[in-house]
Amino acid sequence: MPFKYLFTPHQIRTLEISNRICSTAHQTIMAENGAPGERMAAYHEARARGGAGLIIMESSRPYRDDVSADYYIDSSTDACIPGYKMVADAVHRHGCKVFAQINHGGRIAYTHDGMHQVPHAPSLVPDHRFHCMPRVMSTEYIQMLVQAFAQASRRIVEAGLDGVELVASHGMLMAQFLNPLTNFRDDQYGRTEENRFRFLSECIFETRKLIGSDKIIGVRISADEYEPDGIDAPAWLKICERLNEEVELDFINVTVGSMMGPGGSIHVVPPMEIEQAYTAPQAGQIKAVVDKTIMVAGRINQPQLAEQILAANQAHLCGMTRAMISDPEMPNKAKAGNLDGIRACIGCNQSCIGHYHMGVPISCIQNPLSGRELILKNHPQAAKTRNVLVVGGGPGGMKAASVAAERGHKVTLCERATELGGQALLAQLLPNRSEFGQIIENLRHEMNTAGVNVQLDTTVTKDYVENNKFDVVIIATGATPFRPDKDLLMEVSEDVHTVDAWQVLRDEVDTGTNVVIADWRCDWIGVGLAEKLALDGCSVKLCINGETLAQNLQLYLRTHWAGVIHKLGVQVIPYARLFGAIGNTVYFHHNASGEPILCEGTDTLVMAQGHKPETSLELALCGLSVETHLIGDCLSPRSAEEAIYEGFMAARNA
C-alpha cells in the first residue's frame, strides 16, 4: 500500500524527525553499572539503521533513592553522560533522533539487593501491585526532586541527545501528584487542581532553564489508568488541556494503563488478546483539544495501522516499539514496499517484557538477534556450501532452515504433516490467540526468501538421509502429548472419558458439560482450554499443579487471563497434582498439605500434562556418520522461544 503520511517528516521546535515511526521507552536490562553501554548502543543503533525516525531511551532515575538495580540507568550523576553519548552517536549516524526518559516511581518501588526500598510519595496511599506503603514526601524533598529532574535532563542533552521525556504515565510519581485519590497534601503541591499540577509544571520549567530553548521536552501520560484509584479518561483530558498551556512543553506521548494495580498493569505492555491500536481513539480525543505534538503507542504492530492512525488525525507520531523489537528493519521494509517481508510482532510478550520481568536483557521469540546485536551480529556466511536437512516444520525447524539457507547452504526441510507450523497451529486455535499463527507466516516468508526446499507429507528415515547424502541433519521433530502411565498415577480407569489438549483444540472430541482440566505445565494450554470450554458452555474446573493459573506465562498475560477466567466462572483449584480417576470422579493430591482433592460428577478429564519428546529419528540415526543437531521440543519440550533460538544457533553453527 502507498504511505501518504508515515514517511513524511515532522518538526518539533527546530528538530526535524524524518518519519512518524518511534521506538518508545522500554526497559532493556542492558545498562551496565547504572549507565548505557555498548550492548544498549548496538540495540538502539539497529533500530536507527532500520529506519526509525525517533528513539526514546528507557526510563532513567534522576534521584539515587529510586535506583533499584544497576541495570537501570542512574541519571542522578554525571557518570551517565559518556554512556548516553555512546548511544546518541550510534543513533545519530543513521539520521535518527533520540530522546531519553526520566522517571521516579513514587509509591511504586522495587527491591534492591534483596531488600525492600523506602518508597516516597505525595501522600500515605499504598499501591495494590507491589504492596508498598510509602513515606510522605516533605515539601523540601519535592523541591529537591524538581531540581533532580532538571539536572538529569541537563546531563542527557550534554551527552548530545535531542530531548527528554518526563513520565506522568502508568501511575508513576508525577501521576500520583496529579491524582486527587493519591494526593491529599495540604501544602502548595496539594488541595487544589492547580497545586496538584505544580510538581509537573515546575519540572518542565526548571528543565527548560537548564537545557536551553532548542531541545525538546515531552511528557508521557496514560489517557486512562484503568484502576479504581487511577485517573480516568475525562480527568486526563482536563490535565492535557492544562499541559497545552505549558509553553515550554513540546509533545505529549499517549498510552494507557497503570502500574498501581494488576488490572491497569496489563496495559503497560498489552498482550495479543487486546485489540491492536486500541489507544489511538483516546490519543485522537487529546489531539483535538491541544496543539502540541501527539504521539501514541499501544499494540501498533504494523505500518498499515500507523498509517491509518495518522490518516485519521489521531496522532502525529506512532510508537511501534515491539514491532521493531521483532523486526528492526520494519520501517525500511515498509518504505520500500516490502510489507510481506516484515516480521510482524504477535504480542506474545514472552521475550520482551517477559525477559525484563526475569531481570535479563530483552529479546524476541521470533528474532533471537534482537537484544543480542553486540554478541551475535549478523549471520556469518558459510565458508563452504553444505547439504542441510531440517526435519520438522514447526517454528524451530522453520527458523533453522531459513538461517541455514541465508548463510549459503543448500537446505531441504521435510515435514511429515501436510502443513507447516507444528504446535503454533494449535496455539492459534484458542480464543483471541489467532495472532500467534502469524509466526508461521513470518517464518514461511523467511524460508521462501532464503530459497528453502520444503517437502510436506514426507517422513524422514535413515535411508532417506543416506540416499540424499546430507552433510548436516537438524532434527526438529517436536513432541506429542504426554499421558502419565500407571507407574505415575494411581489409576485412570477405562470408563473415564479422558482426552488430551490437542484433541480438544482440534474439536475431535465431545467433552460433555462438566470438564476437569489437569494442568501440569501451568502455561497457555491449560488456561486457554479453560477459556475455550467455558465459552462453549461447559462447567470447568481448572486444576493446576502450581501456585496460580498460568504461572509460567508473562505477568501481564497471566493477569489478563486471570480476569477472563474469573468472568467466565471457571473454578481454579491450585496445588492440585493429578492422582487418578475412576468413574466420574477425578482425584488430585494437594501439593502442600497432602490431602486429597476430589472433583466429582466429571464428564471429561482433559489431560494437559505436558509433552514427551519425539526421539525416533534421533535413535534411528545413531551410528550414522552425519553431523546432527537437536533443537526444540525433541530435545526437551519447552516453548517456541527455545525452539527458534536453538534452530537459529544450530543453523549458524552448521
Q: Dump pLDDT digits (tens) for 399-429.
A: 999 999 999 999 999 999 999 999 999 999 9
**pLDDT below 50 — which residues of the chain?**
none
User: What is the structure's pLDDT at 481?
Assistant: 97
642: nearest Cα among 437, 399, 321, 377? 399
The CATH code that applies to domain 483-609 is 3.50.50.60
Q: Domain 10-375 belongs to what topology? A: TIM Barrel (3.20.20)
User: What is the structure's pLDDT at 111?
Assistant: 72
User: What is the structure's pLDDT at 486?
Assistant: 72
User: What is the structure's pLDDT at 115?
Assistant: 82
CA distances for 399 relative to 163, 404, 417, 442, 645, angstroms = 39, 8, 17, 10, 8
Q: How far apart are CA 171 and CA 229, in angstroms?
A: 10
User: What is the structure's pLDDT at 216?
Assistant: 98
User: What is the structure's pLDDT at 490?
Assistant: 74
* Contact between 55 and 22 (Cβ < 8 Å): yes
314: nearest Cα among 279, 364, 280, 356? 280
The DSSP secondary-structure symbol of 488 reads: T
A 10 A CB-CB count for 574 gives 18
User: What is the structure's pLDDT at 1?
Assistant: 67
Q: How far apart are CA 342 and CA 130, in angstroms?
A: 37
User: What is the structure's pLDDT at 65?
Assistant: 78
Q: How far apart are CA 456 and CA 413, in angstroms?
A: 8
User: What is the structure's pLDDT at 69?
Assistant: 79
**Domain spans, the chain:** 10-375, 382-480+615-653, 483-609
Q: b/e map of 176-192 (b: 16 or more CB within 10 Å)?
A: bbbbeebbebeeebbee
Among 3.30.1300.10, 3.40.50.720, 3.20.20.70, 3.10.110.10, name the CATH number for the domain at 382-480+615-653: 3.40.50.720
**pLDDT single digits (tens) 511-542:** 999 999 999 999 999 999 999 999 999 999 99
User: Whole-model pTM?
Assistant: 0.96
